[in-house]
Structure formats: C-alpha cells, structure tokens
Amino acid sequence: MGGTVVAVAQSATHSFSKPVGECIRLLAGLGVEGDAHLGATVQHRSRIAKFGHLPNLRQVHLMQAELLDELHAAGFAIKPGDMGENVTTQGLDLLGLPTATLLRLGDTAIIEVTGLRNPCRQLNDFRPGLMQATLDRDAAGNLIRKAGIMATVVTGGAVRAGDPITVTLPAGTHRPLEPV
C-alpha cells in the first residue's frame, strides 16, 4: 500500500492557501520548516487561546488529489495548496487510514497520522459552498469529512513532488480517524 506526493506547500503566514514549492523540509516534533503551523504545541489561530499549551497534532496537513478532482468535477477551481494542505497525495486512501499510521515520504521523512481535518467556514470564505462539498454522509448517515488528514513529524527530511509514500499500519486494533 502506498502512493505518491503530487505537490508540497508551506506558508510563513496564517493565510488560508499555501503556495506550492519545489521542496518542503519536515522537522521532527515540529512540522514544516517555515510554515506558520510549525511548533511542538498548538499553532492554529482558532485554537491557540484555549489549547495553545497542548501538543500540536496538526503539524502536517495532507490532502488527496482525488478530492481536488472531485471538487473540480463539481465546478470548483481548486489546485494543490489552495485548501491549506502541506502535502497533496495521489493513489492513497488517506481517509481510510487508521490513527497512528506511519507514512514515509520520500527517502527519510516519517509522519504519524493523528486524525482528520475538520472542515471550517474558511472554506466557504475561499469558495462559496466549498465546505459542504468537502462533507458527505455514509449509508448509515454518519458524517464523512473529506478535507484531508493531519499528522505529526516523527523523523525529519525533505519532501518533493514525485516522492513515493510508504504506509506502515499500526500494530493491534486499528482506531478510525477522528477530527483533531
């Protein structure tokens, strides 16, 4: 099981979108070098006042290119980095991974999946109707959040478009992803 990195992005400001670049560098225990969300503790503006002392479980944001294709088919002009993700992937069901899955990105970087990104109203500020387009319901009526997953950096390293992604599932009982 694996996939490919399609694009990488980072932004030093808390802007919604992140510009795509040639390479990002992941720093163990911190996140993406030069990114506004870099840090061992919570860095997201909407959470820092209440949860700023807690560990940062949202150091790296990953999103499937397949979602971008789905959104494009629904009439949204969305490209990698537009929704604030650091790593855009292809060929890997990110939403189906269990919590604590390890992903090796390229030669050395390893991240641990912590949970789902919870879509917020900023999506609608970027493109009206986008938040609803990133939500769905399964056959039982349960909410499906499709706006990507979050991870922490276990081992640092450079990540580039075209890098392979290798998956190592956690031992024991798998816990489904929940919003972090």
pTM, two decimals, is: 0.95
In this predicted structure, the answer to whether residue 49 has a pLDDT above a threshold of 80 is: no
Q: Average pLDDT in the 1-7 region? A: 94
* Per-domain boundaries in the chain: 2-168
Position 46 confidence tier, pLDDT thresholds 50, 70, 90: confident
Q: Where are the beta strands (DSSP E) in 10-161?
A: 20-21, 23-27, 31-32, 60-64, 87-90, 102-105, 109-116, 135-137, 143-145, 149-155, 157-160
In this predicted structure, the answer to whether residue 5 has a pLDDT above a threshold of 80 is: yes
In this predicted structure, the answer to whether residue 51 has a pLDDT above a threshold of 90 is: no
In this predicted structure, the answer to whether residue 1 has a pLDDT above a threshold of 80 is: no
Give the closest residue to 86 by CA, choosing from 47, 132, 117, 131.
Answer: 117
Position 29 confidence tier, pLDDT thresholds 50, 70, 90: very high
Are the C-beta atoms of 110 and 37 separated by less than 8 Å?
Answer: no
- The pLDDT of residue 118 is 86
Give the closest residue to 26 by CA, choosing from 131, 163, 118, 128.
Answer: 163
Are the C-beta atoms of 64 and 94 separated by less than 8 Å?
Answer: yes
In this predicted structure, the answer to whether residue 156 has a pLDDT above a threshold of 80 is: yes
**Average pLDDT over the chain, rounded to an integer:** 95
Give the closest residue to 8 by CA, choosing from 160, 111, 110, 117.
Answer: 160
Are the C-beta atoms of 12 and 37 separated by less than 8 Å?
Answer: no
Give the closest residue to 115 by CA, choosing from 147, 158, 70, 78.
Answer: 147
- The pLDDT of residue 40 is 95
Are the C-beta atoms of 10 and 33 separated by less than 8 Å?
Answer: yes
CATH architecture of 2-168: Beta Barrel (2.40)
Percent with pLDDT over 70 in the chain: 100
